[in-house]
Chains A and B, each alone.
Chain A
Amino acid sequence: MARDAFAGHLDLLLLAALRSEARHGYAVIEHMRRTSGGRFDYPEGTVYPALHRLEADGLLRSRWSEVDGRRRRVYELTAKGRRALDGRRREWELFSQGIRSVLEGT
């Protein structure tokens, strides 16, 4: 996926990556790589400013934690983050349905 298109959906992807469990930054990136089949091309460092912004907006919370003997900042969804994820997911589904309808329409 082109970088601009990816950046436009980064927040939704990060919220989705943290839906099932708390993860640190590298684990979030690895999860997105694995589940997307490596389709996204983006500078991995830009994920961290986005995580900090989502936390400042109250959608995530974070804490220091020992992971495999190393100190990592671990992120998890807040209740507000779960609601935001549900809302953005619905928006995305409607948007993608619209695009598909136009592409397949005559």
Chain B
Amino acid sequence: MSQQRQAWIEALGDSLRGPRRARQRLIHELDAHIDDAIAAELANGVAREQAEAAALARLGTATEVGHRWSSDVSARQWTARARVLAFGLVIAAFAAPVGLAQRSTQKPVRHNRQPIRQSHILRQVERTNQQR
């Protein structure tokens, strides 16, 4: 692979943001495209070096391709996150009233422990004071 082609592919790889497998697929497709474009130029009698230069020129800049792809991927990822969030909110909106209704129909919990009788304690204190 020539330096020019290598540089184009590397610049593309550097500008891609997204899942690794999807990035590799795009790089493979564009590499195959360059092969086809060079073959077409060679078939027209163009010299190898010029054929490769023409193929790369027709592709456009690697960063333009990479940024366009990455921005589409990013938009799809945000849409997916928004969908998950919206789904969660819908579930919460349905679950919250059901939970509140269940709570209101439950009988209050009775504690076995007897409440402290304040008057009884006070009487004991008074008795102690009188004994003094």
Contact = CB atoms under 8 A, between A and B. Distances in A.
B81 to A, nearest CB: 15
A25 B36 CA distance: 10
Interface residues of B, number: 23
B25 interface: yes
A49 B68 contact: yes
A55 to B, nearest CB: 11
A100 interface: no
A53 B72 contact: yes
Nearest to B18: A52
A44 interface: yes
Contact of B61 (A24, A29, A43, A53): A43
12 contacts: A26-B33, A44-B33, A44-B59, A45-B62, A46-B60, A46-B64, A48-B29, A48-B69, A52-B22, A52-B72, A73-B29, A73-B32
Interface residues of A, number: 19
A99 B60 CA distance: 31
Interface in A29-85: 29-30, 42-46, 48-49, 52-53, 56, 70-73
A45 B72 contact: no
Interface string B73-88: 0001000000000000
